[in-house]
Structure 1
Amino acid sequence: MKDLTRRAGSLLLVAASLIGCASHTLKNTATAVRQVDNRDLRRASDAMAALLRSYVPSTGLYETTGWWNSANATTTVADYARVSGKRVEYEVTLANTFTVAQKQGAGFLNKFYDDEGWWALAWIDAYDLTGDKRYLEMAESIFKDMAGGWDDTCGGGIWWSKDRQYKNAIANELFLSVGAHLANRTRGAERRQYAAWSRRELKWFRGTGMINGQGLINDGLGKAKDQTSGAGCANNGQTTWTYNQGVILGGLAEMSKAGHAAEELKLAREITHSAIAHLADKDGVLHDPCEPKCGDDGVQFKGIFVRNLAELYRVSQEPEFAAFVKGNAEAVWTKARGPEDRLGETWSGPYVAANAGAQSSALDALVGAVVVGSK
Structure 2
Amino acid sequence: MMIIDENNSINETLNWAEVTATRLVICYYNETSGIWLNELAWQSGNTLESLANFLSHLDSPLKYVFNNTFIKTGMFIGGDCFDDYQWWLLGWLQAYSVDQNINYLHRAADIYDIIVDKAWNVTQCSGGIQWCPTNGYKNAITNELFLSCSMRLHPYATILGKSSTYYLNWALKEWQWFENSGIINADYLINDGLNSNDNICVNNNQTTWTYNQGVILSGLALLYNATNNKTLLNIAQNIADATIQKLTYSNGILKEPCEPNCDNDQKLFKGIFVRHLSYLLPYLIDPIHIQKYTLFLQQNAISVSMTNRCELDGLFGLFWNNTSINNCDSTRDTATTSSVLDLFLSIVNTQQQITTSNWILLGMGNCMDDQNFSMSNFYKNDVTENICRTTADNDIGAIAYDYELKCNGNGFCRIRTLSDRSLTPTGWTYEVGNAITVTRTNKIILTNCYLRTN
TM class, shorter-length: 0.7 to 0.9
Match of 1:295 in 2: 263
**Can you list the C-alpha shifts for 1:271-318, whole angstroms capped at 9, x where unaligned?**
111111111122211011211221110001000000000111122161
1:323–1:190 distance in 2 versus 1, CA, 3 Å:
farther
Q: Does 1:150 align with 2:120?
A: yes
Q: Which runs of 4+ in 1 moved over 3 A?
A: 106-110, 188-191
Q: Does 1:333 align with 2:299?
A: no
Within 5 Å, which residues of 2 pair with 1:100-139?
A: 100-102=72-74, 106=75, 108=77, 110-139=79-108
Q: In the aligned structure 1, how far is the partner of 2:336 from the partner of 2:261? A: 11
Amino acid at match of 1:367: L
CA contact (8 A) 2:140 2:183 kept: yes
Within 5 Å, which residues of 2 pair with 1:1-375?
A: 38-52=11-25, 53-83=27-57, 85-86=58-59, 88-102=60-74, 106=75, 108=77, 110-147=79-116, 148-152=118-122, 153-187=124-158, 189-222=162-195, 226=197, 229-231=198-200, 233-316=201-284, 318-339=290-311, 340-349=313-322, 350=324, 351=327, 352-353=329-330, 354-373=332-351
**Can you list the C-alpha shifts for 1:217-267, whole angstroms capped at 9, x where unaligned?**
0000015xx4xx314x10000000000000001111221221224122111
Return the structure number with greater helix share. Answer: 1
1:362–1:178 distance in 2 versus 1, CA, 3 Å:
same
Return the structure number with greater strand share. Answer: 2
CA contact (8 A) 2:76 2:85 kept: no
Amino acid at match of 1:185: Y
Match of 1:19 in 2: none
TM-score relative to the length of structure 2: 0.70
CA contact (8 A) 2:181 2:202 kept: yes
Q: In the aligned structure 1, how far is the partner of 2:301 from the partner of 2:87? A: 23
Amino acid at match of 2:140: A
Amino acid at match of 2:128: G
Query: Secondary structure in 1 aligned to 2:305?
Result: helix
CA RMSD of aligned residues (A): 1.9
1:108–1:56 distance in 2 versus 1, CA, 3 Å:
closer
How far has the Cα of 1:135 moved from its partner? 1.1
How far has the Cα of 1:108 moved from its partner? 4.5
**Can you list the C-alpha shifts for 1:35-57, whole angstroms capped at 9, x where unaligned?**
98611111112222232211110
1:190–1:133 distance in 2 versus 1, CA, 3 Å:
farther
CA contact (8 A) 1:37 1:370 kept: no
CA contact (8 A) 1:217 1:244 kept: yes
Q: In the aligned structure 1, how far is the partner of 2:177 from the partner of 2:10? A: 41
How many residue pairs get aligned? The number is: 331
Match of 1:22 in 2: none
Which has the larger Rg? 2
Q: Report the identity percentage.
A: 34
Q: In the aligned structure 1, how far is the partner of 2:22 from the partner of 2:345? A: 13
CA contact (8 A) 1:322 1:373 kept: no
Amino acid at match of 1:219: D
1:360–1:262 distance in 2 versus 1, CA, 3 Å:
same
**Structure 1: stretches of 5+ with no match in the other structure:** 1-34
